[in-house]
Structure 1
Amino acid sequence: MTTIDSRSYYTRGDSFSVGASREHIERALVGSGATEVRFSQRGHLNAIAFRADGRQFRIVLSLPQPRVSTAAGDELEQVSGRAATVKTQELNARRFWHAFALATDAKLAAAAAGVATLESEFLAHVVLPGNRTVIDELEPVIASAYRSGQRPTLTAAP
Protein backbone atom coordinates (compact mmCIF):
# COMPACT_ATOMS: atom_id res chain seq x y z
CA MET A 1 0.00 0.00 0.00
CA THR A 2 1.36 3.40 -0.97
CA THR A 3 1.02 6.30 1.41
CA ILE A 4 1.11 9.94 0.49
CA ASP A 5 3.32 12.20 2.56
CA SER A 6 1.02 14.98 3.72
CA ARG A 7 4.06 17.22 3.96
CA SER A 8 4.80 17.03 0.23
CA TYR A 9 4.89 20.29 -1.66
CA TYR A 10 1.86 19.48 -3.78
CA THR A 11 -0.47 18.57 -0.94
CA ARG A 12 0.52 21.61 1.09
CA GLY A 13 0.11 23.97 -1.86
CA ASP A 14 3.65 25.28 -1.42
CA SER A 15 4.47 24.79 -5.09
CA PHE A 16 1.75 27.22 -6.21
CA SER A 17 2.51 30.92 -5.94
CA VAL A 18 -0.16 33.23 -4.59
CA GLY A 19 -0.34 34.86 -8.03
CA ALA A 20 -0.80 31.52 -9.79
CA SER A 21 -3.63 30.53 -7.45
CA ARG A 22 -5.34 33.89 -7.89
CA GLU A 23 -5.02 33.62 -11.68
CA HIS A 24 -6.49 30.12 -11.50
CA ILE A 25 -9.44 31.40 -9.46
CA GLU A 26 -10.06 34.22 -11.93
CA ARG A 27 -9.88 31.88 -14.95
CA ALA A 28 -12.22 29.39 -13.25
CA LEU A 29 -14.76 32.08 -12.41
CA VAL A 30 -14.65 33.61 -15.89
CA GLY A 31 -14.84 30.12 -17.40
CA SER A 32 -18.04 29.52 -15.46
CA GLY A 33 -19.61 32.73 -16.77
CA ALA A 34 -18.60 35.25 -14.12
CA THR A 35 -17.78 38.78 -15.20
CA GLU A 36 -16.11 41.78 -13.59
CA VAL A 37 -13.80 39.59 -11.47
CA ARG A 38 -11.77 41.84 -9.19
CA PHE A 39 -9.25 41.21 -6.42
CA SER A 40 -8.38 43.76 -3.75
CA GLN A 41 -6.31 43.79 -0.60
CA ARG A 42 -6.19 45.92 2.54
CA GLY A 43 -3.75 44.71 5.17
CA HIS A 44 -4.37 41.03 5.84
CA LEU A 45 -7.87 41.22 4.30
CA ASN A 46 -8.35 40.18 0.69
CA ALA A 47 -11.54 40.42 -1.32
CA ILE A 48 -12.73 38.84 -4.54
CA ALA A 49 -15.76 40.37 -6.22
CA PHE A 50 -17.57 39.19 -9.33
CA ARG A 51 -20.93 39.12 -11.08
CA ALA A 52 -22.67 35.94 -12.19
CA ASP A 53 -26.20 34.71 -12.77
CA GLY A 54 -27.60 38.20 -12.28
CA ARG A 55 -26.03 38.54 -8.85
CA GLN A 56 -23.05 40.34 -7.38
CA PHE A 57 -20.74 38.38 -5.07
CA ARG A 58 -18.03 39.54 -2.67
CA ILE A 59 -15.84 37.15 -0.72
CA VAL A 60 -13.68 38.68 2.01
CA LEU A 61 -10.82 36.50 3.20
CA SER A 62 -8.60 37.06 6.19
CA LEU A 63 -5.20 35.49 5.71
CA PRO A 64 -3.91 33.72 8.80
CA GLN A 65 -1.41 35.82 10.70
CA PRO A 66 1.62 34.28 12.38
CA ARG A 67 1.97 34.67 16.11
CA VAL A 68 4.43 37.41 16.96
CA SER A 69 7.04 36.61 19.56
CA THR A 70 7.67 39.32 22.11
CA ALA A 71 10.74 37.65 23.56
CA ALA A 72 13.81 39.88 23.35
CA GLY A 73 16.94 38.42 21.80
CA ASP A 74 20.12 39.69 20.27
CA GLU A 75 20.02 41.53 16.94
CA LEU A 76 21.09 38.51 14.85
CA GLU A 77 18.30 36.40 16.34
CA GLN A 78 15.79 39.18 15.66
CA VAL A 79 16.89 39.50 12.01
CA SER A 80 16.80 35.75 11.42
CA GLY A 81 13.47 35.64 13.27
CA ARG A 82 12.01 38.28 10.94
CA ALA A 83 13.29 36.38 7.90
CA ALA A 84 11.71 33.19 9.22
CA THR A 85 8.45 35.08 9.84
CA VAL A 86 8.45 36.42 6.28
CA LYS A 87 9.11 32.93 4.90
CA THR A 88 6.39 31.47 7.10
CA GLN A 89 3.94 34.17 5.98
CA GLU A 90 4.74 33.43 2.33
CA LEU A 91 4.23 29.68 2.78
CA ASN A 92 0.99 30.26 4.68
CA ALA A 93 -0.27 32.61 1.96
CA ARG A 94 0.60 30.05 -0.73
CA ARG A 95 -1.25 27.29 1.14
CA PHE A 96 -4.21 29.55 1.89
CA TRP A 97 -4.68 30.68 -1.73
CA HIS A 98 -4.17 27.17 -3.07
CA ALA A 99 -6.85 25.85 -0.67
CA PHE A 100 -9.19 28.66 -1.69
CA ALA A 101 -8.59 27.84 -5.37
CA LEU A 102 -9.48 24.19 -4.70
CA ALA A 103 -12.61 25.22 -2.78
CA THR A 104 -13.64 27.54 -5.62
CA ASP A 105 -13.11 24.75 -8.16
CA ALA A 106 -15.31 22.43 -6.09
CA LYS A 107 -18.11 25.01 -5.85
CA LEU A 108 -17.99 25.75 -9.57
CA ALA A 109 -17.93 22.03 -10.42
CA ALA A 110 -20.99 21.40 -8.23
CA ALA A 111 -22.85 24.22 -9.98
CA ALA A 112 -21.76 23.04 -13.44
CA ALA A 113 -22.93 19.48 -12.69
CA GLY A 114 -26.32 20.68 -11.46
CA VAL A 115 -25.67 19.42 -7.94
CA ALA A 116 -26.16 22.99 -6.71
CA THR A 117 -26.61 26.45 -8.11
CA LEU A 118 -23.90 29.06 -8.23
CA GLU A 119 -25.99 31.17 -5.88
CA SER A 120 -26.40 28.37 -3.34
CA GLU A 121 -22.67 27.59 -3.42
CA PHE A 122 -21.74 31.23 -2.83
CA LEU A 123 -24.89 32.27 -0.92
CA ALA A 124 -23.04 33.75 2.04
CA HIS A 125 -21.24 36.08 -0.35
CA VAL A 126 -24.21 37.43 -2.33
CA VAL A 127 -24.15 41.22 -2.11
CA LEU A 128 -27.53 42.58 -1.02
CA PRO A 129 -28.93 46.05 -1.62
CA GLY A 130 -27.08 48.32 0.81
CA ASN A 131 -23.74 46.66 -0.13
CA ARG A 132 -23.75 44.09 2.68
CA THR A 133 -23.43 40.38 2.06
CA VAL A 134 -25.82 37.67 3.25
CA ILE A 135 -23.26 36.55 5.84
CA ASP A 136 -22.85 40.15 7.08
CA GLU A 137 -26.60 40.26 7.71
CA LEU A 138 -27.01 36.76 9.14
CA GLU A 139 -23.98 36.35 11.43
CA PRO A 140 -25.45 38.53 14.22
CA VAL A 141 -28.86 36.85 13.85
CA ILE A 142 -27.31 33.38 14.14
CA ALA A 143 -25.14 34.39 17.09
CA SER A 144 -28.18 35.84 18.89
CA ALA A 145 -30.20 32.68 18.22
CA TYR A 146 -27.50 30.51 19.75
CA ARG A 147 -27.14 32.81 22.76
CA SER A 148 -30.89 32.88 23.40
CA GLY A 149 -31.66 29.33 22.36
CA GLN A 150 -34.58 30.71 20.35
CA ARG A 151 -35.25 30.24 16.67
CA PRO A 152 -34.55 33.51 14.87
CA THR A 153 -37.33 35.37 13.17
CA LEU A 154 -36.39 36.18 9.62
CA THR A 155 -38.65 38.73 8.04
CA ALA A 156 -38.39 40.48 4.74
CA ALA A 157 -38.03 44.21 4.96
CA PRO A 158 -40.99 46.10 3.47
Structure 2
Amino acid sequence: MSDYARTTTVTVEASRAEIEKALRRYGATGFSYGWSETRAQVQFEANGRRIRFALAMPDPNERRFTHTPSRDLRRTRAETEKAYEQATRQIWRALVLVIKAKLEAVQSGIVTFEQEFLAHIVMPDGSTVSEYIAPAIESIYEGGQVPPLLGLPPGR
Protein backbone atom coordinates (compact mmCIF):
# COMPACT_ATOMS: atom_id res chain seq x y z
CA MET A 1 0.00 0.00 0.00
CA SER A 2 0.93 3.61 -0.36
CA ASP A 3 2.35 5.66 2.46
CA TYR A 4 -0.50 8.18 2.30
CA ALA A 5 -2.38 8.11 5.63
CA ARG A 6 -0.51 4.95 6.60
CA THR A 7 -0.68 5.87 10.28
CA THR A 8 -3.99 7.70 10.34
CA THR A 9 -6.13 7.42 13.44
CA VAL A 10 -9.22 8.83 11.72
CA THR A 11 -11.98 6.23 11.80
CA VAL A 12 -13.80 5.00 8.72
CA GLU A 13 -16.98 6.55 10.13
CA ALA A 14 -15.31 9.95 10.52
CA SER A 15 -13.96 9.78 6.97
CA ARG A 16 -17.39 8.89 5.60
CA ALA A 17 -18.94 11.78 7.55
CA GLU A 18 -16.26 14.12 6.16
CA ILE A 19 -17.12 13.05 2.62
CA GLU A 20 -20.83 13.63 3.25
CA LYS A 21 -20.15 17.08 4.76
CA ALA A 22 -17.97 18.07 1.77
CA LEU A 23 -20.63 16.89 -0.67
CA ARG A 24 -23.25 19.02 1.07
CA ARG A 25 -20.92 22.02 1.04
CA TYR A 26 -20.36 21.64 -2.71
CA GLY A 27 -24.07 21.27 -3.48
CA ALA A 28 -24.76 17.53 -3.71
CA THR A 29 -28.45 16.68 -3.50
CA GLY A 30 -28.21 13.09 -2.27
CA PHE A 31 -25.80 10.70 -0.56
CA SER A 32 -25.71 6.98 0.20
CA TYR A 33 -23.20 4.52 1.54
CA GLY A 34 -23.06 0.74 1.69
CA TRP A 35 -20.66 -2.10 2.29
CA SER A 36 -20.16 -5.83 2.03
CA GLU A 37 -17.28 -8.10 3.00
CA THR A 38 -15.32 -7.29 -0.13
CA ARG A 39 -16.29 -3.74 -1.01
CA ALA A 40 -17.63 -0.46 0.21
CA GLN A 41 -19.19 2.26 -1.87
CA VAL A 42 -20.23 5.87 -1.72
CA GLN A 43 -22.83 7.27 -4.09
CA PHE A 44 -24.06 10.80 -4.42
CA GLU A 45 -26.10 12.96 -6.71
CA ALA A 46 -24.85 16.31 -7.92
CA ASN A 47 -25.21 18.38 -11.08
CA GLY A 48 -28.01 16.10 -12.23
CA ARG A 49 -25.74 13.05 -12.19
CA ARG A 50 -25.36 10.03 -9.93
CA ILE A 51 -21.76 9.30 -9.00
CA ARG A 52 -20.40 6.07 -7.48
CA PHE A 53 -17.02 5.35 -5.94
CA ALA A 54 -16.49 1.67 -5.15
CA LEU A 55 -13.68 0.61 -2.86
CA ALA A 56 -12.30 -2.90 -3.01
CA MET A 57 -11.80 -3.86 0.60
CA PRO A 58 -8.78 -5.96 1.45
CA ASP A 59 -9.19 -9.54 2.60
CA PRO A 60 -8.61 -9.60 6.38
CA ASN A 61 -6.85 -12.96 5.94
CA GLU A 62 -4.10 -11.51 3.74
CA ARG A 63 -0.60 -12.23 4.96
CA ARG A 64 0.14 -8.52 5.40
CA PHE A 65 -2.45 -8.53 8.21
CA THR A 66 -1.84 -11.97 9.67
CA HIS A 67 1.97 -11.75 9.84
CA THR A 68 4.46 -9.12 10.94
CA PRO A 69 6.37 -7.51 8.07
CA SER A 70 9.80 -7.48 9.69
CA ARG A 71 10.15 -10.99 11.13
CA ASP A 72 7.29 -12.78 9.35
CA LEU A 73 5.78 -13.96 12.62
CA ARG A 74 2.11 -14.81 12.96
CA ARG A 75 0.14 -12.00 14.58
CA THR A 76 -2.41 -12.51 17.32
CA ARG A 77 -6.07 -12.13 16.40
CA ALA A 78 -6.14 -8.67 18.00
CA GLU A 79 -2.99 -7.61 16.12
CA THR A 80 -4.46 -8.91 12.85
CA GLU A 81 -7.67 -6.95 13.39
CA LYS A 82 -5.70 -3.83 14.26
CA ALA A 83 -3.59 -4.10 11.07
CA TYR A 84 -6.71 -4.68 8.95
CA GLU A 85 -8.54 -1.74 10.51
CA GLN A 86 -5.53 0.49 9.85
CA ALA A 87 -5.60 -0.49 6.17
CA THR A 88 -9.30 0.29 5.88
CA ARG A 89 -8.82 3.67 7.59
CA GLN A 90 -6.04 4.42 5.09
CA ILE A 91 -8.23 3.55 2.10
CA TRP A 92 -11.02 5.80 3.37
CA ARG A 93 -8.65 8.71 3.98
CA ALA A 94 -7.47 8.41 0.37
CA LEU A 95 -11.09 8.46 -0.81
CA VAL A 96 -11.72 11.64 1.20
CA LEU A 97 -8.71 13.25 -0.47
CA VAL A 98 -9.83 12.22 -3.97
CA ILE A 99 -13.43 13.38 -3.63
CA LYS A 100 -12.56 16.70 -1.99
CA ALA A 101 -9.87 17.42 -4.59
CA LYS A 102 -12.29 16.68 -7.43
CA LEU A 103 -14.99 18.89 -5.91
CA GLU A 104 -12.53 21.74 -5.43
CA ALA A 105 -11.20 21.41 -8.99
CA VAL A 106 -14.76 21.75 -10.30
CA GLN A 107 -15.60 24.64 -7.95
CA SER A 108 -12.40 26.46 -8.98
CA GLY A 109 -13.23 26.15 -12.68
CA ILE A 110 -10.20 24.01 -13.49
CA VAL A 111 -12.45 21.31 -14.95
CA THR A 112 -16.16 20.75 -15.47
CA PHE A 113 -18.10 18.37 -13.26
CA GLU A 114 -18.42 15.86 -16.09
CA GLN A 115 -14.70 16.00 -16.89
CA GLU A 116 -13.70 15.37 -13.32
CA PHE A 117 -16.26 12.70 -12.39
CA LEU A 118 -16.78 11.06 -15.80
CA ALA A 119 -15.42 7.63 -14.88
CA HIS A 120 -17.72 7.45 -11.84
CA ILE A 121 -20.99 8.60 -13.43
CA VAL A 122 -23.61 5.87 -13.09
CA MET A 123 -25.23 4.87 -16.38
CA PRO A 124 -28.92 3.88 -16.68
CA ASP A 125 -27.95 0.17 -16.58
CA GLY A 126 -26.22 0.64 -13.19
CA SER A 127 -22.65 0.44 -14.46
CA THR A 128 -20.28 3.37 -14.26
CA VAL A 129 -18.87 5.02 -17.37
CA SER A 130 -15.52 3.45 -16.49
CA GLU A 131 -16.99 -0.05 -16.27
CA TYR A 132 -18.82 0.54 -19.54
CA ILE A 133 -15.95 1.94 -21.60
CA ALA A 134 -12.85 0.20 -20.14
CA PRO A 135 -13.09 -2.85 -22.46
CA ALA A 136 -13.16 -0.59 -25.52
CA ILE A 137 -10.12 1.34 -24.31
CA GLU A 138 -8.23 -1.93 -23.74
CA SER A 139 -9.13 -3.06 -27.26
CA ILE A 140 -7.87 0.20 -28.79
CA TYR A 141 -4.53 -0.09 -27.00
CA GLU A 142 -4.16 -3.77 -27.90
CA GLY A 143 -4.79 -2.88 -31.55
CA GLY A 144 -1.97 -0.34 -31.53
CA GLN A 145 -4.14 2.57 -32.62
CA VAL A 146 -2.88 4.89 -29.89
CA PRO A 147 -2.20 8.47 -31.02
CA PRO A 148 1.24 10.03 -30.36
CA LEU A 149 1.81 11.27 -26.82
CA LEU A 150 1.61 14.96 -27.73
CA GLY A 151 -1.00 14.49 -30.43
CA LEU A 152 1.54 15.35 -33.10
CA PRO A 153 2.39 13.16 -36.09
CA PRO A 154 5.68 11.21 -35.73
CA GLY A 155 8.81 13.20 -36.54
CA ARG A 156 7.48 16.61 -35.58
Alignment TM-score > 0.5, same fold? yes
- Which TM-score applies when normalising by structure 1? 0.76
Runs (4 or more) in structure 1 with deviation over 6 Å come to: none
Which of 112, 117, 128 is 2:112 aligned to? 117
* Counterpart for residue 76 of structure 2: 81
* Counterpart for residue 50 of structure 1: 44
Q: How many residues align?
A: 137
| Identical-pair percentage | 39
- Which TM-score applies when normalising by structure 2? 0.77
Secondary structure, in 3 states, of the residue corresponding to 2:42? Answer: strand
Secondary structure, in 3 states, of the residue corresponding to 1:64? Answer: coil
Secondary structure, in 3 states, of the residue corresponding to 2:78? Answer: helix
Q: Deviations over 1:60-100 (max 9, x none)?
A: 111234523899xxxxx86x433222111100111111111
* Counterpart for residue 14 of structure 1: 8
Secondary structure, in 3 states, of the residue corresponding to 1:12? Answer: coil
Cα drift, residue 105 of structure 1: 1.2
Structure 2 residue ranges without an equivalent (≥5): 68-72, 147-156
Structure 1 residue ranges without an equivalent (≥5): 1-6, 72-76, 152-158
Q: For 2:79 and 2:6, locate their aligned partners in 1 and report how far apart those are by CA, in whole Å.
A: 18
Which of 23, 27, 33 is 1:29 aligned to? 23
* Maintained 8 Å contact 2:30/2:45: yes
